[in-house]
A and B are shown apart, each in its own frame.
Chain A
Amino acid sequence: MTALTASAVSVGDTVTPLSRTVSQAQINAYADASGDHNPIHVDEAFALSVGLPSTIAHGLLEMGIVADAIAAWAGGSANVQSLSCRFSKPLRAGDTIICTGTVVAVDDGVATLEVGASSDRGDRVLTNGRATVRLTP
């Protein structure tokens, strides 16, 4: 895949929003693949016992989905230089995450985007999100 050309990117451009329903099976698969078996993600009785409404997705799984959305816009994940965010609210198992991004600066062959994610119940699950994407001249 090829990177976006700098002349084709402007402040205000948006990433195609990416929605993905995150099932418990998907969370379990991420726990196995990542090695993070914290029971708040995979054990409902435990999650309830620590005051959560249900099991919740790994923040890094949510971030991976955001990275997918940015990579699709950027012409491949090799063009994604950085990504950061705050895990503001938990994403419950079975909820749909909706990832968004907007270009806020284009400088020296790099686009900076504000990124974020919400759940279909209206929670802003990822906030203070930033990504940088490499552009071709």
Chain B
Amino acid sequence: MPDQSHVGRRYSAPGQRVAPEAARAVASAIAGSDPIREPDVVPPTYAAVYCLGPTLALLFNDPEVGIDLAGLIHGDQSFEWPEPVHPGDIVDASAEITSIDIKRGMTFVRLAMEAVRPADNAVVCRATSLMILRTAAA
């Protein structure tokens, strides 16, 4: 189970390609039965794929933290996009556990993520996520 000793752990997922077809697939899934509004633009929340997904996968597979996915809830999310990301860009994603609180039988894991485009060193996304685990350590 996650505990205070895991605060400060970092996860690095360099070389994430913003594949145009993958960005389009997310735009299409968000649009549902509506037309895609901006077919050639990376949807802002595609950061879920180039920034959150690859770093969270490392966290979820970190045996020393031991997160039980079955009890996981996404509590909140913030995104900031200082510079636009473009189809075909390569970005380096990283995440850090910034706090872990255990209360009311639940564990609250707060993460800060960032995605940087090495080609021009631009930060294309900063994000924070709160993950809530309904099964806390006794």
Question: Chain A: residues with CB nearer than 8 A to chain B?
Answer: 1, 20-23, 26, 29-30, 32-36, 38, 50, 58-61, 63-65, 67-68, 71-72, 76-78, 80-87, 128
**Chain B 51-95: CB-based contact to A (< 8 A → 1; otherwise 0):** 011000000000000000111111111111110100000000000
Q: How far is the CB of B85 from chain A (nearest CB, A)?
A: 10
Question: Chain B: residues with CB nearer than 8 A to chain A?
Answer: 22, 25-26, 28-34, 37-38, 41, 43-45, 48-49, 52-53, 69-82, 84, 128
Can you identify 27 A-B contacts, CB atoms within 8 angstroms? A1-B38, A23-B33, A26-B29, A33-B25, A36-B48, A59-B77, A60-B48, A60-B74, A61-B29, A64-B43, A64-B45, A67-B45, A71-B44, A76-B38, A76-B41, A77-B43, A77-B44, A78-B41, A80-B44, A82-B80, A84-B77, A84-B79, A85-B77, A86-B76, A87-B74, A87-B75, A87-B76
Inter-chain CA distance A21–B19, complex, in Å, is 27
Inter-chain CA distance A32–B24, complex, in Å, is 12
B44 and A83 within 8 A (CB): yes
